[in-house]
Amino acid sequence: MRAANASLESYGRDHEMRAGLSASPPVDGRPFLSGPISVYKYDSSYDDQKFIIEFGADKRVLVSARMADLIGLIDGVSSTEQIASRLTGKWGARVSASQVEQVITATLVTTGIVDAPRNLNQSVERRSHDLLGHSLKLTLIPFQVVRKITPWLNPIYSWPVAVIGLIAILVSRLILYSNIQNVKDMAVPPDQYLYVFLVTVLTVIIHEFGHATAVGRWGGEPGDIGLTLYFVYPALFTDTSGSWRFGRWRRAAVDAGGAYFQLLCSLVLVVVYLIGKSPIALWACVAIDSLLILSLNPFFKFDGYWIVSDIIGVPNLHKASLRRLGSLCMGAFSKQSLRPAAERMNRWSEGLLSLYGALLVLFIVAITYLTFSYGVSWILKYPDLIAGVWAGVSQSSKEQAAVVAGILLRFMYQTAVLLGLLVFWYRLATAAWRVLRGRLFLNRAGVS
């Protein structure tokens, strides 16, 4: 699963690319950068050129050209009046000092790009609320190790290897599933679960190296590989923030690189099954394919989400699609366009974004219904699950260590999913409470 460790937000609007801006010693009461920053172009579907700002501890935000102009003028020495005067000359439109202060306070201080001077000390609460987001992150393989391994894997992305590999993957899957005579062959008995689990986990780690290798292949720096709890699923992730510098098709290749590596290594399992009829190899292949189908879901922030986001050329796809859908609904009652100029794009991209937003709403409604309808019964049956695990473990002999390990692993996975389900319900409840609290505040203020 690809993961970027900083969210991208689009602000404000012909800016020359600049890189490596440094924070100057601040003059009291004047805005200054929180540290050195880098600015580079971002390949997107928006009509206006976008830029990515890198700053702090590997943080990134997406900004408009005009916002990048403003950031480039913040040096700790210039006052907001001087910055406004320079922007007025550059843009040919009047910019006031109060407007500069407002943008700095509400946006740049909030994101951490600018440190708040004494006369810009208004605090703005920063929060991140994503119903389909990560609940935790734990590093398993640090980036220093990842960057030593990935150069050795670069040849796998060469054209000859990629073409032959993709053909072999397609042929192997056709042969594999045509040789399965009975659906019951795909059931995993307790004494085999541990081995299937270990083989599958190994291929998932290789999946993450597929993402990391793709980043390094095209000049980026791969990050950590770790464990996360996403929505209700435990999953591995790779920090591919280095790919934001790439064009959209290379970013999409990074997104698909994990599945490519995992399917390549599963070729060995297919051969083992066809030659030796190994049930472990068969079940591992089925588990791999099931996980890949889940990872290609375009609504969870797994590989499928990033592929769609990068091909369309719109970061923060969830938020952008819902904003677009909202503007369409509101636009039905207004003759004027409700979209900011900075968010306009070609019709093809707008159509795809609107379609994605509509499908996302339906998906959220469906997944919320399913989690409640099945989740409640699952919680009620959890004591029976514990009793069943205890019975299975207590009735197993010392020679059946693999059976015991398999039972415990399944129990741990089901418990992790249940924990993720409870976290999702908590996020849903807090989101509903924020909406209700805001509505109550408006009612008390006399706003209908």
Lowest mean pLDDT among 87-96, 363-372, 389-398: 389-398
pTM of the model: 0.76
Per-residue pLDDT tens over the stretch 163-176: 999 999 999 999 99
Helix (H) or strand (E) holding 53: strand 50-55
Nearest to 306 by CA among 363, 374, 237: 237
Average pLDDT over residues 59-81: 86
Confidence class for position 19, pLDDT limits 50, 70, 90: very low
pLDDT tens figures, 177-223? 888 766 555 666 777 788 888 999 999 999 999 999 999 999 999 99
Q: Which domains are assigned to the chain?
A: 2-120 (3.90.930), 134-312 (no CATH)
pLDDT tens track for 89-142: 988 889 888 888 888 888 888 788 887 554 443 332 233 334 455 556 789 999
Judged by average pLDDT, the poorest of 375-389, 404-418, 434-448 is 434-448
The residues with which 234 forms a beta bridge, in sequence order, are: 229
Q: Is the pLDDT score of 402 beyond 80?
A: no
Q: Tell me if 218 sits within 8 A of 250, measured CB to CB.
A: yes
Of the candidates 305, 291, 207, the one whose C-alpha atom is nearest the C-alpha of residue 252 is 305
Q: Is the model more confident about 151 or about 44?
A: 151
Q: Are 255 and 212 in contact (CB under 8 A)?
A: no
Distance CA 228, CA 137 (A): 4
Q: Residue 324 and residue 358: Cα distance in Å, rounded?
A: 10
| 16 has a pLDDT exceeding 50 | no
**Contact call for residues 196 and 136 (beta carbons, < 8 A):** no
Q: Is the pLDDT of residue 3 over 90?
A: no
pLDDT band at 340 (very low <50, low <70, confident <90, very high): low
DSSP per residue over 273-326, as a string?
A: HHHH--HHHHHHHHHHHHHHHHHT-TTTTTHHHHHHHHHHT-SSHHHHHHHHHH
Q: What is the pLDDT of residue 28?
A: 59
369: pLDDT strictly greater than 60: yes
Per-residue pLDDT reduced to its tens digit, 233-264: 678 889 998 888 899 999 999 999 999 999 99
pLDDT tier at 8 (50, 70, 90 boundaries)? very low
Provide mean pLDDT across the span 62-83. Answer: 87
**pLDDT at residue 399, rounded to an integer:** 63
Q: Which long-range contacts (CB under 8 A, 24 or more apart) does 158-166 make?
A: 162/260, 165/260, 165/264, 166/260
Spatial neighbors of 239 by CB under 8 A, at least 6 apart, are 3, 4, 5, 143, 222, 223, 224, 225, 226
The letter for the amino acid at 314 is V
Confidence of residue 76 (pLDDT cuts 50, 70, 90): confident
pLDDT band for position 13 (cuts 50, 70, 90): very low
Which band of pLDDT confidence, cut at 50, 70 and 90, is reported for residue 445? Answer: very low
pLDDT of residue 17: 32
Average pLDDT across the chain, whole number: 79
CB burial readout 246-282, b (16+ within 10 A) else e: bebebbbbbbbbbbbbbbbbbbebbebbeeeebbbbb
Q: What does DSSP assign to residue 397? A: -
- In 3D space, the residue among 385, 416, 409, 415 whose CA is nearest the CA of residue 197 turns out to be 409
